[in-house]
Structure 1
Amino acid sequence: MRRLKILLFTVLLVSTSINVNASSSYLAIDADYSGTGSFSEGLAEVSNNSKWGYIDTEGNLKIPFCYDITTPFRKGRALVVKDGKRIIIDKNGVEYTPSDIDTCYQILSGFIYGLEDAYFGFDRDNKKGLMDKYGKKIIPSIYEDFQSFHDGLVVAYDTDEDENTQYTVYDKHGNIIVPEGLYDYINDYNEGLTSVTKDNQYAVIDTEGNVVIPFGEYSSIGTFYEGLASAKKNGKRGFINSKGEIIVPFIYDYMWLFNDGFTYVKKNKKYGLIDKKGNEVIPCEYDSLDYLGGSYENIVLVGKGGQESYFIDDPYLNDRINTSNKKFGFINTEGKNVTPITYDYAELFYNGFAKVAIGGNGGSGKTNYCCGKFGFIDLSGKEVVPLIYDHVGEFSSYLYKGKIKGTVPVSIGGYGSVYSYKGGRWGYVDEKGNKITELIYDEVYDFHEGYGKVLKDGKYGFVDINGDEVIPCIYSQARDFQGGLAMVVYDGRGEIIDINGNEIFPEDFAILRPYKEGYARVSTDGSKFGYVDNPSEQVKDVHMSLKEGKYDGTKTITLSCDTEGAQIYYSIKYNKNYISFDDVYGWKYRPYLGPIVLNQKANITAYAVKKGMKESKSVTSNYEIIHNILPTDEKPFYNKVPYNMYADLLNNFGLFNGTAKGYELDKSGTRVEGLVMFLRLIGEEKEALESLEEHPFTDVPKWADRYVAYAYSKGYTNGVSETTFGSNSIIDAKSYFTFLLRALNYSDKDGDFKWNNSIEYAVYIDIISNEDYDFYQKEFKRAEIVKASYNTLFTKIKNTEKTLYDILREKGIIKL
């Protein structure tokens, strides 16, 4: 049973050995520090047991030991904590934070579009503002939050005493572009334009706040992409340009955003494809259609026949729709057939090939398709990998010795649906369908740098492009080759090997990770840390530093390595048991991406690696933390561990905002709040806010209108009656866990679980513990909602190896 889910950032990795002393000959900066951080912009964080400062690459102390917490420099600024308060410093140690704010936080560049300088958010009295890198307040701290930054503008919003949301638009200098209260809603800017609403009417304004498309013309206007925005008039949809001129007539029931000049539309329950002039290059005569633009070869997947599933109206999911008796084929964006509509299963083209199958049965969706014979077709529609396999992986193309090569894993003899295939023997074929290896492996993986990782009898090895097993299957764990080196685990010890299987680093260096700006952190005894450079191609040792956590009874562990480009990996052990990373990813070690927060006794082992270098030494530290997560009485610590921590983590991810009064974790959640969390967890909040759908309910607050309409149109939820959604009804544990399980692709409709046993099923798939289950029977408020939501982020999606956290990072929704 997984117990800890309080890691700030998670990924995956590999194993290594226990602490080994560093050879002093490798030290570029003496191991005089109790903790260190990676070099960033020429400076690194270091600790002298109690306080933190910064050194340069010569080991000179540039900023004295006076901070409780430090962070790497970014764009000439670092966020530090001094006397319990967050402040901004420059590389000379000059402080720039106003004295009258409660806290500040760095806005990562990935969140800001069109803003080149560093900007920082700050809070005062639970209200947010924005300041520049010199501490000058750009936007006052009077807002509940900000929407995304686009086109050099940001939309700030707050809720008034009548619970109406008020919107204001600022430019990057703090000038008000659109004053508060002018509109009922302001969408995010894109391409210099945004839609606004007033009294249920839509208009469009530009970056100066000028109305370019007046109110009264359209009942809905979406976001501009490729110069056009979808709009609705008299119950039908079309596209307009930035002048409000009709480009695509209002004859469609549904349409998506333009992508590389095309988009799909729905008319009379049939799908087609149009160009930016409104020409139907593929007529609306298909029961399903999927198109994702040039990255998918500009070829459209169409389907005919079959019985519509409950989410058939969502074009975005058409590649998952594969119902019984439906047949699939391909058409290009010129309207020419690539293949006939003959396949029982098909996926979009990728890397020049498309996966197809014949026979079998489709069930109610892509994940349920099974028992057919799989192969691949090329862009001409030719079957290059014959349709004879029980299962196939993804086609990988790569450059090998100056030539483009392709490989695909194939299997015969297994059983199960597309995403639950088990058993069978695996091997490889090439881009022409020629066999590379015999089908003799338990598992095979994508090729990297001309070598494919294979698993046989529980051990890993590697084959080359000729199918020769050049490195025998003797390793308990292994990573793909990168830069001619691969990380493996043999007899419990992490090693780096070359393409001949030779170990690169001596046994006294058991940790390998990349350098950061030419320096890596090392430890001589597990408690003192220094830096090594790269003259001997040795990755510097990992530094492990301990700081008091933000909450009572917690510790924050920071890992660092001074080798530029090195990657740290770590594992955590509680009460002699490793944390169940392998429950999520299949590995006990994971890449380190940020501070680790602990709320109980733990042992942490870490090491660092870099391509083409020897692995750094492993360092291990034990941390004694005494804290009861829940006190003996029934009332939880709403303002202590773990609830506020979970709320902070979700807030950092952009998934939980709280209210104008804060997180309010001691209050019950509502049905509409649960729905919003569901949409955020599956990464569809943006689509919801931009949707043009409608709903029949009369009790939905304005702020939630788009969410409910979108979810209702997708079949994610229904009302409590034909005209009532039950927006303010308290959401209980069973109802919320139903949302969470659906987010993980478990279906109460298909019988995976039922509403009345959703909490038990959440225990079964390890979202929550037995202790949580007992507690949730008695108490389920916003505190429990944030904890359950956070745990769900790191639970595997049904029949996949990915988590919602992985998906949200891939979509760019979570930036951390």
Structure 2
Amino acid sequence: MFCRSLLAASVAALLLSACGSSGDKPAAAEPAAQAKPPAPAAFNVALCVNDDCGVVDQAANVLIPFKNDYDNFSPFLMKDTLLVQKDEQWLLLDAKTRQPIKTLSGDIYTVTPGYFGFERDGKIGLMDYQGNEVVAPRFDSVFSGGEDQYINYQVGEKSGVIDVHGKQLTDAVYDSMVVREDLDTRGGLITADRGDQKWLINLKDGSQKQVEYGSLGEINDGHMVAAAPDHIRSGLTDANGTLVVPVKYEWMGLPSEGLVAFREKSAEPCGYMDYTGKVVIEPRFVQCEPFGKKGALAKLQSDDSNPAKNKFGMIDRSGAWLVQPSYDAVGEAEHTLLGMLGHKQGYGSIFRQADAFSYLSGIFDLDQGREIIPATYQQVGVLTPQRFVFSGADAPKINVSILGQVTPVPALGVMDAAGKVLTKPETFADIRLDKTGRYLVARDGEEQPHEALLDLDGNQLIAPQWHELHIDTQRNIILGYDLRGTGDDAVRVMRAAYDLQGKTLFTVKHTDCGADQLVDGSGKVIWPQDVKPYCKSAEQQASTEG
């Protein structure tokens, strides 16, 4: 069921989307060279303004007035149809004529875009937005898996998988499966439990096979590290999840450029093997980072008799030094929240100790075999080959809240490869490249942070006024949402829509008197024309803000 006052969809999986993802090294591209983005596709959506709900299209034309006799609206973005509830029945309406296409007596359920779950005789099936039954009702529950990448269904206590086109891929034979992660980072493979057995489901073709491992790491260079069910041992699989190196190593690094680092047992040195398990560089290092085209950052076993030699350098594919050890520490090159690091193909972070308690960081290009950003920054990370996120010694601190704990972190800015500052470190605690590679998503430091959208030159396209921005590449739009609640109970409520250049299509703005007002892209008021009847007292506004 959907709450009329919120028109909300669950965001439990969404809260994990802040995690970084690995991938191939992006090609350098300047924003000016990019083609003009396509115009927004037609859509309609229900909005609630001052607890009155109606339906508007992409230009803020009102399709169903905000004063109406409907009981509820679906939160789905639709096009030629509308989904409304009246007298405990859901009605699928033709968007032009408002005439019913289908009448549904039970509840409806959010699944993947283009489909929704519907109920009949106590069972749930799938229907598309035109009213066609894609799957007849026979399930006890349905919900979206991954990032809207498949549909999980349950019959009794068992689970199965349907793809995004409504095709059933598996029977309901699994006790549990991973549902909250971006499966593109794992080759479209789902790990699942079936009794004491571990299974793998391929979303591409529906193939299923029993495996020896319990989970997969992120795919890189066509391979993934596989962890044993006890998470103590690791092996290596190809892109289809077939083991190419047995699950027997205490640790394995990220596969890259044909090699993967490994440590056979705890406290033993690390080395590198190829994807057949053949040792290419004998274990003699205390730390082994992923390879680029020229080499990898590594550190030999510590020499207690000569601490000056306990440094990191760059090795080639034979293990010989290409760049002599001189760095105090190294790591991966993508900057994530709280200064943590993620993988960026072809790059590594380098660190030099500034004092007893701090380090300065820079960037090393593993494909060229040279330092490209000197270790002079408080923090620095790779966004693209031409853009870097950074903070200097004079960057102000921003408080961020993680799991209820407030932590001050340095503000981040954006610079180019020559060190020219494009965005000063002032406002944002986190800046990342979005999946399309066209934008930078920046977050401020409030308890529920707001997201801003920047272009690759650091120019602000959308100000940080919404808790979440979603880039919809199917409809060529960007949606702004507010989050209400926390954790698994959090819901998101649509407040605005933009084109791919950040131009407003419509937005729900908050007025000085505490009332909301829908305006179109030109600033024209759509509803309510007069906000006075919806204004709140000072006590009500304080309660809402609290």
1:566 is aligned to: 503
Q: Which secondary structure does the structure 2 equivalent of 1:265 belong to?
A: strand
Amino acid at match of 2:352: I
Amino acid at match of 1:357: F
1:100 is aligned to: 105
Give the 3 Å change call, closer, same or farther, for CA 85–326 of structure 1 in structure 2.
Answer: farther
Give the 3 Å change call, closer, same or farther, for CA 265–353 of structure 1 in structure 2.
Answer: closer
Larger Cα Rg: Structure 1 or Structure 2?
1
Cα drift, residue 120 of structure 1: 1.0
Contact 2:351 2:361 in 1 (8 A): yes
Contact 2:508 2:516 in 1 (8 A): yes
1:74 is aligned to: 78
Deviations 1:96-152 (A, max 9, x none): 5452322343623xxxxxxxxx21123579975433332416153643444627999
Higher normalized contact order (CA 8 Å, seq sep 6+, divided by chain length): 1
Residue 602 of structure 1, aligned match among 504, 509, 514: 514
May I ask how many residue pairs the two structures share in their alignment?
A: 417
Cα drift, residue 166 of structure 1: 1.8
Q: Aligned partners of 2:389, 2:500: CA distance in 1, in Å?
A: 35
Deviations 1:605-629 (A, max 9, x none): 78777xxxxx747999463569x99
**Equivalence map 1:127-146=2 (5 Å):** 129-133=125-129, 134-136=131-133, 138=135, 140=137, 142-146=139-143
1:41 is aligned to: 42
2:324 is aligned to: 340
Cα drift, residue 42 of structure 1: 6.6
1:704 is aligned to: none
Q: Which secondary structure does the structure 1 equivalent of 2:159 belong to?
A: strand
Amino acid at match of 1:230: A
Q: Greater strand percent: which structure? A: 2
Deviations 1:477-535 (A, max 9, x none): x996899987899xxxxxxxxxxxxxxxxxxxxxxxxxxx999xxxxxxxxxxxxxxxx
1:595 is aligned to: none
Amino acid at match of 1:105: T
Q: Aligned partners of 1:94, 1:408: CA distance in 2, in Å?
A: 52
Q: Aligned partners of 2:169, 2:455: CA distance in 1, in Å?
A: 52
Structure 2 unaligned segments of length 5 or more: list them: 1-5, 16-38, 303-308, 335-343, 399-406, 428-451, 464-474, 478-492
1:689 is aligned to: none
Amino acid at match of 1:200: D
Cα drift, residue 357 of structure 1: 3.0
Q: Aligned partners of 1:572, 1:61: CA distance in 2, in Å?
A: 22
Amino acid at match of 2:378: H
Give the 3 Å change call, closer, same or farther, for CA 414–288 of structure 1 in structure 2.
Answer: same
Contact 2:90 2:106 in 1 (8 A): no
Amino acid at match of 2:140: Y
2:158 is aligned to: 166
Cα drift, residue 41 of structure 1: 1.3
Q: Aligned partners of 1:211, 1:428: CA distance in 2, in Å?
A: 44
**Equivalence map 1:400-479=2 (5 Å):** 411=392, 431=417, 446-447=421-422, 452=423
2:337 is aligned to: none
Contact 1:151 1:191 in 2 (8 A): no
Structure 1 unaligned segments of length 5 or more: list them: 12-37, 109-117, 307-324, 363-368, 399-404, 437-445, 457-477, 490-516, 520-555, 577-600, 610-614, 630-640, 643-767, 770-816
Q: Aligned partners of 2:76, 2:109: CA distance in 1, in Å?
A: 16
Give the 3 Å change call, closer, same or farther, for CA 195–289 of structure 1 in structure 2.
Answer: same
Contact 1:87 1:97 in 2 (8 A): yes
**Equivalence map 1:768-779=2 (5 Å):** none
Question: What is the Cα-based RMSD across aligned positions, in Å?
Answer: 6.5
**Residue 378 (structure 2) pairs with residue 391 (structure 1):** yes
Q: Which secondary structure does the structure 1 equivalent of 2:326 belong to?
A: coil
Deviations 1:385-412 (A, max 9, x none): 555x4635456768xxxxxx67886745
Amino acid at match of 1:74: M
Give the 3 Å change call, closer, same or farther, for CA 625–136 of structure 1 in structure 2.
Answer: farther
Amino acid at match of 2:145: S
1:359 is aligned to: 353
**Equivalence map 1:276-291=2 (5 Å):** 276-291=275-290
Indicate the percent of aligned positions where both proteins have the same amino acid: 18
**Residue 258 (structure 2) pairs with residue 268 (structure 1):** no
When normalised by structure 2's length, the TM-score is 0.52
2:115 is aligned to: 119
Cα drift, residue 200 of structure 1: 1.9
Q: Aligned partners of 1:558, 1:360: CA distance in 2, in Å?
A: 46
Give the 3 Å change call, closer, same or farther, for CA 196–382 of structure 1 in structure 2.
Answer: closer
Q: Which secondary structure does the structure 1 equivalent of 2:245 belong to?
A: strand
1:220 is aligned to: 213
Cα drift, residue 572 of structure 1: 4.6
Amino acid at match of 1:132: D
Contact 2:259 2:273 in 1 (8 A): yes
Give the 3 Å change call, closer, same or farther, for CA 376–96 of structure 1 in structure 2.
Answer: same
Q: Aligned partners of 2:453, 2:178: CA distance in 1, in Å?
A: 44
Contact 2:90 2:104 in 1 (8 A): no
Cα drift, residue 157 of structure 1: 3.0
Cα drift, residue 348 of structure 1: 2.8
